């Protein structure tokens, strides 16, 4: 809603009515904030400004895609056609009113474009009725222009992302609620992870998310396909589809995850193979628990070693760490092992003192 420039949202509130009954307000649900402020100088009327007031209602949605845990508390406008009205109040007095309807197709029906003037503000699609104060100029001339030139608030734009459910062909062809639920979950999975699965490499959180969200969903879809048939009509990815296509999409995504994890395992194996070829006995056991390059290896006098040959030749291995002392002080720790010529452990040391980093003298046998 547009108001004369300088209007402060403090002390104002908006109320939403549906078919004459109050539905919610920004005092209890949502927020009223200021948006764009625009101005123009006219040689006949002088400089004038308008400010956009934006009302957000948390429990009201124009439409929804997929399913949500708290959707039972929402008022979804596509599911409730009828007459709506937004009233703007100043203190306890209503000062502006905007009325519109939602048609049987679930979309807002524009009431016609109205221009802008200094006293009555401006809107693009819905006329603002002045309830109290701010009498419009006698000319009533909307000289400011059509704000839609740079504010894309067209009705088609508003509903561009709405995945409208396909109507049932007849009352006798009701889709199993379990199918509907599974398809909605699959739609969410596609929305959450499809783009991320096109990355190389696929990030670990994507792999984990796919496992959490599809380990049960994939076999459920296969079971539903077997029970209802692959050709069962559903709405998926914004249009008509089949249950078999949904199951195939999730299976394709899981194959991408499997390929990515297999590739990552092969790459890890290629990195670790040279170490495993040279290390023996206790050295190999310790290395398997502390694989390079995830762990930094040292030998005597804090000399860093990293190659398979260096680790195989070194008599001593050391790791540096820290001891949690809270916020009071820091304490370093050093753990080390001594090996014989064939990699068997013959001695070990553990040291710890106050400080940030261990000195080089700590990387050696006990004194």
Residue-wise pLDDT tens for the chain (367 aa)?
A: 777 777 778 888 999 999 989 999 988 888 888 877 777 665 665 666 777 788 888 889 888 887 787 888 899 998 999 998 888 888 888 888 888 888 888 888 765 543 333 344 434 444 445 444 444 443 333 323 333 333 344 566 667 778 877 654 544 456 789 999 999 999 999 999 999 999 988 898 999 999 999 999 999 999 999 999 999 999 998 889 999 999 999 999 999 999 999 988 888 899 999 999 999 999 999 999 999 888 999 999 999 999 999 999 999 999 999 876 655 668 899 999 999 999 999 999 999 998 889 999 999 998 7
User: Could you tell me the two tokens for 208?
Assistant: 């984990």
Where is the domain boundary, 275, 305, 334? 275
Whether residue 184 is found in the same domain as residue 271: yes
Supply the pTM of this predicted model: 0.41
Scan for tokens 């040291």, then name that residue: 351
Could you give the CA distance from residue 232 to residue 102 in angstroms, rounded to a whole number?
31
Q: What are the φ and ψ backbone dihedral angles of 142, each rounded to 5 degrees? A: -90, 90
The Cα angle at residue 70 between residues 67 and 72, in degrees rounded to 5: 85
- Verify that 256 and 290 share a domain, yes or no: no
Domain-terminating residue out of 245, 260, 275? 275
- Say if CB 223 and CB 215 are below 8 A apart: no
Q: Please tell me the distance from the alpha carbon of residue 214 to that of residue 293, in angstroms, as a whole number.
A: 32
Same domain, 188 and 257: yes
Indicate whether 143 belongs to any domain: yes
Residue 367 lies inside a defined structural domain of this protein: no
Cα distances from 179 to residues 79, 87, 153, 224, in angstroms, run 21, 41, 35, 7
On whether both 79 and 152 belong to a single domain, the answer is yes
CA distance 242 to 179: 11
Do residues 27 and 133 share a domain? yes
Does residue 218 sit within a domain? yes
Q: Which of 275, 307, 334 is the last residue of a domain?
A: 275
Residue 303 domain boundaries: 281-362
Which residues touch 37 (CB under 8 Å, ≥6 apart)? 5, 49, 50, 51, 52
Tell me the three state secondary structure of residue 156. helix
> At a CB cut-off of 8 Å and minimum separation 6, what does 230 contact?
242, 243, 244, 247
Locate 127 and state its tokens: 């006329």
């Amino acid at each position: 809603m547009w108001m004369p420039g300088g209007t402060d949202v403090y002390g104002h509130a908006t109320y939403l009515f549906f078919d004459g009954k109050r539905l919610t307000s920004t005092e209890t649900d949502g927020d009223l904030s200021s948006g764009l402020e625009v101005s123009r100088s006219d040689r006949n009327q002088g400089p004038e400004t308008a400010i956009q007031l934006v009302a957000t209602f948390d429990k009201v949605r124009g439409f929804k895609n997929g399913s949500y845990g708290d959707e039972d508390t929402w008022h979804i406008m596509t599911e409730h056609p009828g007459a709506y009205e937004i009233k703007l109040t100043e203190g306890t007095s209503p000062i502006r009113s905007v009325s519109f309807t939602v048609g049987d197709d679930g979309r807002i029906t524009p009431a016609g474009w109205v221009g802008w003037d200094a006293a009555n503000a401006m809107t693009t699609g819905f006329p603002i009725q002045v309830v109290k104060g701010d009498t419009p100029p006698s000319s009533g001339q909307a000289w400011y222009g059509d704000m839609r030139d740079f504010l894309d608030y067209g009705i088609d734009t508003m509903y561009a992302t709405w995945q409208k459910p396909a109507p049932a062909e007849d009352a006798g062809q009701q889709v199993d609620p379990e199918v509907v639920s599974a398809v909605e979950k699959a739609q969410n999975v596609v929305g959450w992870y499809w783009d991320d699965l096109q990355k190389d490499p696929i990030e670990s959180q994507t792999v984990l998310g796919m496992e959490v969200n599809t380990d049960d969903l994939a076999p459920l879809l296969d079971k539903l396909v077997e029970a209802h048939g692959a050709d069962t009509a559903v709405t998926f990815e914004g249009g008509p589809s089949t249950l078999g296509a949904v199951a195939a999409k999730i299976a394709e995504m899981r194959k991408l995850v499997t390929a990515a994890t297999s590739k990552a395992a092969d790459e890890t194996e290629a990195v670790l193979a040279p170490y495993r070829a040279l290390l023996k006995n206790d050295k190999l056991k310790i290395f398997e628990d502390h694989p390079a390059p995830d762990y930094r290896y040292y030998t005597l006098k804090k000399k860093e070693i990293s190659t398979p040959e260096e680790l195989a030749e070194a008599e001593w291995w050391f790791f540096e760490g820290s001891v949690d002392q809270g916020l009071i002080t820091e304490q370093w720790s050093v753990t080390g092992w001594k090996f014989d010529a064939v990699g068997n452990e013959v001695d070990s040391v553990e040291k710890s003192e106050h400080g940030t980093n261990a000195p080089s003298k700590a990387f050696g046998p006990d004194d």
